[in-house]
Amino acid sequence: MKEEMSSVDIKYIVEELKSLKGARIDKIYHDGSEIRIKLHKAGEGRKDLIIEAGKRIHLTSYIREAPKMPSSFTMLLRKHLSGGFFDNIEQHDFDRIVKIRIGNYTLIAELFRKGNIILVDENNIIIGALRYEEFKDRAIKPKHEYKLPPARESPIEVSWERFLELIKSENVEIVRALARKLNMGGLYAEEILLRAEIDKKKKANELSEDDLRLIFEKMKEVFNAPKKPNIIYKDGTMIDVVPIELKWYENYEKKYFETFSEALDEYFGKITVEKAKIERTKRLEEKKRQILATLRRQEEQMKGFEAEMKKNQELGDLIYANFTFIDNLLREFSKAVEKLGWEEFKKRIEEGKKAGNKIALMVKSIDPKEKAVTIEIEGRKIKLYLNKSIGENAEIYYEKAKKAKHKLEGAKRAYEDTKKKLQEIEKLIEEEMKKELKVKKLEKRKKKWFEKFRWFISSEGFLVIGGKDATTNEMVVKRHMGDNDLYCHADVHGAPHVVIKDGQKAGEKTIFEACQFAVSMSKAWSEGVYSADAYWAYPNQVTKKAPSGEYLGKGAFMVYGKRNWYHGIPLKLAVGIINYEGEDLVMCGPVDALKAHTKRYIVIRPGDLKKSELVKKIKKIFERWGYKVAEEDIMAILPPGEGEIVEVVE
């Protein structure tokens, strides 16, 4: 099963991650060998970039619970990178090294061997790293210059002449020559030779120039193949994730994805979840293993006690079953020992065996120290003590059987106690598995087109949209304002451009609500103003054409002709959950608009409560109502600046 990304994987993911350019660094988390960078991309919302040293880099929806106490490395990264912008990302020389430029800093992800994550400044001097190390040719330490590992040949950039020079003289199998000399790994070396229909076991120096030319062409074909991300399954189990269609996996089950990040996230994310489950129950599983080992030992003990009890019971019974014979034997042997002594007795027995005497042949051993003789009768060996009566001899075995029985009963009780412990530990494991994982998957719903803007649905059911910044203001007017719409704007510097879709069919109530939205979403809110003026106009009055000698910047427009004014509009909005087109959406708009679409809403106005605190309060109210809404989703729809809750309608 694949455990880390290859150079080829990195080539394709880096191309994909270039789409993050311009995203703002919101927060950074660190746990073990992983860092997660929470970003915000204008018009697209939250993005989470995961980097695991030595293994992977991609966008993720599998979010591990952040450690309660941020590490020193977390604090260092946050200090230098938070609030910065994702400027660029590149792969170094087809190696497993990725560089991310954020302002004057570069974050370097080393994805080979144990790996590392290193922060350097504009002069390539190390500020900090996930781990500090020293090698023969470079040191990863603060205030040292960051040096790259020795360069390796790239199969993408290598020329035909250089390819020949590298491969032609190699006295090894062609598959090994490609994998080693051109930094591509075994899988892609196999794929190239499969496409070229050349035996991978042939020695590189035995191939003709035509064969090598074909391999070179197929290599270029593979590394320029169109992206088709997929996860490979064997017998229902994931075994690989690749960015392109591979002939090598032609007959395997596959699952295709729109982006390579999604494929990598599904693959590594599931591994992460499984690891989290294993890690969480590790101690309990170890305890379970110990209990199972104890049970096995107790089972063996019980078998031993049972066998001992049975054996001694049977030997006691055997004595009584042969009472007369054994009683006579004991008397005769005792007299012989008393008369001859043990040494002579042993000698006579040995002589009797040689002569074929039946009684002598029954004797298997003689123990003068214990004054005992072991005989074999009915196929069983039994030790008889000559200084004891037949009853006393039988009692010795019955007593042993009794002791074995007591031990067996004790062992059975201990066994039942251990079984209870096993059931308890299994219950604990089951309960632990039911608990919410420390790794959760963010299920991101596909946002509606208008959610990249400020928006609300009016009390009369009209969609109203407004810009969030210069870029989205430009988009609202240029891209989304049609001939049948209406345009609204507040008489406040920096106010959003607001458009009522199909607004020429709207009533006075919707137009007023749109104007109230325009003043409430303007800078007037952050300035603590309680009322402001706004107007509406027709789309053909709004233009990018500036008066002579003036220039209109990005997001700025001129309005010519009559403006229809509303004066002294109160800055007041409401927040709630509405159902629109079959989906529950968090909406912030005029109070009457919320009242028309939901029975429960929160009325807000400019105030002294920090926006982050206001968000937390709104989130708690939503949770009380049974809605789990991310803080960032609430933050995105609220007006700029501080505020306060005026009323909660339930």
Q: How confident is the model at residue 435 (pLDDT cuts 50, 70, 90)?
A: low
Rounded Cα–Cα distance for residues 538 and 519 (Å): 18
Neighbours of 468 (CB within 10 A): 18
Give the pLDDT score at 66.
74
Q: How confident is the model at residue 306 (pLDDT cuts 50, 70, 90)?
A: very high
> How many domains is the chain partitioned into structurally?
4
Q: How confident is the model at residue 545 (pLDDT cuts 50, 70, 90)?
A: confident
The DSSP string of 90-136 is EESTTSSEEEEEETTEEEEEE-STT-EEEEE-TTSBEEEESS-EE-S
Same domain, 380 and 255: no
- Rounded mean pLDDT, 485-493: 93
- Rounded mean pLDDT, 24-39: 92
Scanning the structure block, which residue is given the tokens 């608990």?
435
**Residues of 444-460 as b/e, b for ≥16 C-beta within 10 angstroms?**
eeeeeebbbbbbbbbbb
Q: How confident is the model at residue 63 (pLDDT cuts 50, 70, 90)?
A: confident
Question: Which residues are CB-contacts of 325 (< 8 A; sequence separation ≥ 6)?
Answer: 377
Residue 277 has pLDDT above 80, yes or no: no
Structural domain boundaries, residue 352:
299-404
Q: Does residue 473 fall inside a structural domain?
A: yes
Q: Provide the residue type at 38 as one letter.
A: K
DSSP 173: B
DSSP 640: S
Give the pLDDT score at 46.
84
Residues listed for the chain: 650
C-alpha distances out from residue 443 to 16, 49, 61, 437, Å? 21, 16, 7, 15
47 closest CA partner among 18, 76, 78:
18
Residue 364 has pLDDT above 80, yes or no: yes
Q: Provide the residue type at 626 as one letter.
A: G
Scanning the structure block, which residue is given the tokens 């591979």?
246
**H or E, element range at 444:** none
Q: Does residue 418 fall inside a structural domain?
A: no
Same domain, 169 and 134: no
Same domain, 189 and 90: no
**H or E, element range at 182:** none
Rounded Cα–Cα distance for residues 440 and 420 (Å): 33
Residue 442 has pLDDT above 60, yes or no: no
Quote the tokens at residue 120: 């350097």
Same domain, 332 and 190: no
Same domain, 269 and 347: no
Give the pLDDT score at 78.
95
Q: How confident is the model at residue 353 (pLDDT cuts 50, 70, 90)?
A: very high
- Rounded mean pLDDT, 458-482: 92
Residue 436 has pLDDT above 60, yes or no: no
Same domain, 304 and 384: yes
The residue among 372, 389, 404 that closes a domain is: 404
Inter-axis angle of helices 390-434 and 282-321, nearest 10: 160
Question: Which residues are CB-contacts of 61 (< 8 A; sequence separation ≥ 6)?
Answer: 48, 265, 269, 441, 442, 443, 444
**H or E, element range at 489:** strand 486-490
The residue among 140, 172, 206 that closes a domain is: 140
445 closest CA partner among 227, 268, 228, 628:
628
Question: Which residues are CB-contacts of 220 (< 8 A; sequence separation ≥ 6)?
Answer: none
**CB-based contact 54:2 (threshold 8 Å):** no
**H or E, element range at 243:** none
Same domain, 533 and 628: yes
Give the pLDDT score at 433.
67
Give the pLDDT score at 443.
59
Residue 539 has pLDDT above 90, yes or no: yes
The percentage of residues in the chain with a pLDDT greater than 70, rounded to a whole number, is 97
Q: Does residue 2 fall inside a structural domain?
A: no
Quote the tokens at residue 302: 């019980």
Give the pLDDT score at 43.
67
> Looking at beta carbons, which pairs linking 112-116 to residues 24 or more positions away fall under 8 Å?
112/54, 112/149, 113/54, 114/53, 114/54, 115/33, 115/52, 115/53, 115/54, 115/55, 116/53, 116/54, 116/140
203 closest CA partner among 180, 181, 171:
171
CB-side exposure of 647: number of CA atoms within 13 Å? 10
- Rounded mean pLDDT, 82-92: 94
Residue 288 has pLDDT above 60, yes or no: yes
DSSP 629: -
Question: Which residues are CB-contacts of 414 (< 8 A; sequence separation ≥ 6)?
Answer: 298
Same domain, 338 and 388: yes
What strands lie across the sheet with 583-589, from one edge to the other? 583-589, 573-580, 601-609, 643-649
Give the pLDDT score at 280.
67
DSSP3 helix / strand / coil % (the chain, rounded to 5): 45, 25, 30
| pLDDT per residue as tens digits for the range 221-268 | 999 899 999 999 998 899 999 999 999 999 999 999 999 999 999 999
| pLDDT per residue as tens digits for the range 136-159 | 888 999 999 999 887 778 898 899
| pLDDT per residue as tens digits for the range 591-620 | 999 999 999 999 999 999 999 899 999 999
SS3 417: helix
Residue 35 has pLDDT above 60, yes or no: yes
Rounded Cα–Cα distance for residues 325 and 61 (Å): 87
Give the pLDDT score at 365.
93
174 closest CA partner among 198, 197, 150, 151:
198
Residue 502 has pLDDT above 60, yes or no: yes
C-alpha distances out from residue 491 to 15, 33, 568, Å? 44, 52, 11
The residue among 404, 439, 457 that closes a domain is: 404
Nearest-Å Rg of the Cα atoms of the chain is 42
Same domain, 494 and 621: yes
374 closest CA partner among 320, 326, 307:
326
Q: Does residue 315 fall inside a structural domain?
A: yes
Q: Does residue 233 fall inside a structural domain?
A: yes
Q: Whole-number mean pLDDT of the chain? A: 91
Give the pLDDT score at 457.
96
Give the pLDDT score at 420.
93
CATH number of the domain bearing residue 107: 2.30.310.10
Give the pLDDT score at 305.
95
Q: Does residue 154 fall inside a structural domain?
A: no
Q: Does residue 409 fall inside a structural domain?
A: no
567 closest CA partner among 496, 516, 508:
516
Give the pLDDT score at 152.
78
- Rounded mean pLDDT, 437-461: 79
Same domain, 272 and 306: no
Residue 64 has pLDDT above 90, yes or no: no
**CB-based contact 16:260 (threshold 8 Å):** yes
CATH number of the domain bearing residue 235: 1.10.8
Give the pLDDT score at 581.
84
Strands 531-537 and 564-570: antiparallel
Chain centroid to CA 278: 12
512 closest CA partner among 530, 497, 496, 533:
533
Residue 206 has pLDDT above 70, yes or no: yes
Inter-axis angle of helices 185-196 and 7-17, nearest 10: 100
Q: Does residue 169 fall inside a structural domain?
A: yes
Chain centroid to CA 647: 41
Q: How confident is the model at residue 42 (pLDDT cuts 50, 70, 90)?
A: confident
**CB-based contact 111:53 (threshold 8 Å):** yes
| pLDDT per residue as tens digits for the range 613-648 | 999 999 999 988 888 888 888 988 999 889 999 999
Give the N- to C-terminal CA distance of the chain in Å, as an integer: 53
Same domain, 460 and 591: yes
Residue 28 has pLDDT above 90, yes or no: yes
Q: Provide the residue type at 385 as one letter.
A: Y
**If DSSP states are collapsed to H, E and C, what string results for 302-359?**
HHHHHHHHHHHHHHHHHHHHCHHHHHHHHHHHHHHHHHHCHHHHHHHHHHHHHCCCHH
Same domain, 339 and 385: yes
